[in-house]
A = this chain, B = another copy of it.
Amino acid sequence: MTIRRATISDVAREADVSPSTASVVFSGKTPVSDATRRRVLAAAANLGYIGPDPRAASLRLGRSGIVGVVVGSSMNHLFLDPVQRLMMDGLAEEVAPFGAGLLLLRTGTDVENAPTLLTAPLDAAVLIGCDLPLRHSLDAAHSRGLPIVVIEGDAGPGVPRILLDNRDAQRTAAAYLRDLGHTDVAIVTLRPSFEVGGGWLDADVDITIDVTRERLEGARDVFPTAPALATAGSSIDEGLAAGRVLFADPHRRPTAVIAQSDLLAAGVIRAAEEAGLAVPGDVSVTGFDGVPVDGLAPYELTTLVQSATDKGRAAGAAVAAMLDGRTPASVLLSCTFRIGDTTGPPLSRR
């Protein structure tokens, strides 16, 4: 029953040529006479040979066509975020022409021999953010010569990064609210660190997740004393919960909320509706990301539009460059401010 799969040598023998010739028929690296090509292809069809074994090819070529993407422990969580989904699409799109696909590597699971940066046959790796536990295996991978790119995170010197002008962008949105006349503004943040979950953010907590910190800084550049309520991650339900806290006391509610993501903003808007508040009449809400939020309609969010797809593509391009032996520079992408219908002057000004 164990029928050994035909190899290229078998095909060569059947076609009465040398293995090298048979090989080039498939790879096309060297011209081959038409007659020979036909003979080889016929022999291949005959033996049911479909093409070179990718494993052998990858050993010889030193390229496996696989780019590792280090995601957190749960894809359910990661891909909840439209930004990540679009980014993955951009990334996949960009590396595809290189014959590369994306291998999902999960961290945080302590399964015995789960695949890692070191055990998987990777050509390169892309890190999304960069949490501490990763740094260890990262160094090893790096020292093995594996090209690495980091998206919105810092993996040490020499690792190209794909960054977003989070702080500037968020400052723009905050300034817009200020110019509308808002002074009583609350901030709903993404997760501040892997240790801390949600809750009011004291001044002294250490915000280790870059995105959260940068966007918070941008908001605080304009509203230095604005209270910040942290969530455990980017989702409508987290935003809803935060919004309920913000709107709980009718006498002490903000006139505007800066949410650090569109999903959070959608949740805050939902909470406002629940509390009988009109958006933007009673409360203005800004988001961040500029992604279509399923279920946000009919609102058009005032937000900072980033092209998540471009972010993925930039990472892909950086990977491609490294595979070509070049050394890509870090990339800083910009957001554009989009004014929607969820912001307006505060009640007192109208």
Chain B nearest CB, measured from A83 CB (Å): 10
B-contacting 9-mer, from A62-70, A176-184, A276-284: A62-70
Please, how many angstroms separate the alpha-carbon atoms of A54 and B120 in the complex? Answer: 6
**Residues of chain B within 8 A of A111, CB atoms compared:** 93, 96-97
Chain A, residues 93-107, CB within 8 Å of chain B (1/0): the string is: 100111111111110
A236 within 8 A of B: yes
Is the pair A294, B237 in contact by a Cβ cutoff of 8 Å?
Answer: yes
Interface residue stretch chosen among A7-15, A73-81, A216-224: A73-81
Partner of A118, one of B50, B106, B140, B267: B50
Does the CB pair A103–B5 fall under 8 Å?
A: no
In the complex with contacts A140-B50, A294-B263, A92-B75 CB distance below 8 A: yes
Do B104 and A92 have beta carbons less than 8 Å apart?
yes
Give the number of copies in the complex: 2
Chain B residues within an 8 Å CB radius of A93 = 109, 111
A120→B97 contact, CB < 8 A: no
In chain B, what residue has the closest Cβ to A234? B294
Could you tell me the distance in whole angstroms from the C-beta of A11 to the nearest C-beta in chain B? Answer: 14
Specify which of B55, B74, B295 is in contact with A267 (CB 8 Å cutoff). B295
Report the separation of the CA atoms of residues A97 and B111 in the bound assembly, to the nearest whole angstrom. 6
- Docked-complex contact A65 and B96, CB < 8 angstroms: no
Contact among B102, B105, B119 with A51 in the assembled complex (CB-CB below 8 Å): B119
B66 with A66: CB separation less than 8 A: yes
In addition to A54-B122, A65-B119, 19 A-B residue pairs with Cβ atoms within 8 Å of each other are A51-B119, A54-B119, A58-B58, A65-B115, A66-B103, A68-B101, A75-B89, A76-B82, A79-B85, A79-B88, A93-B111, A97-B112, A99-B113, A100-B115, A101-B104, A101-B120, A237-B297, A240-B297, A267-B295
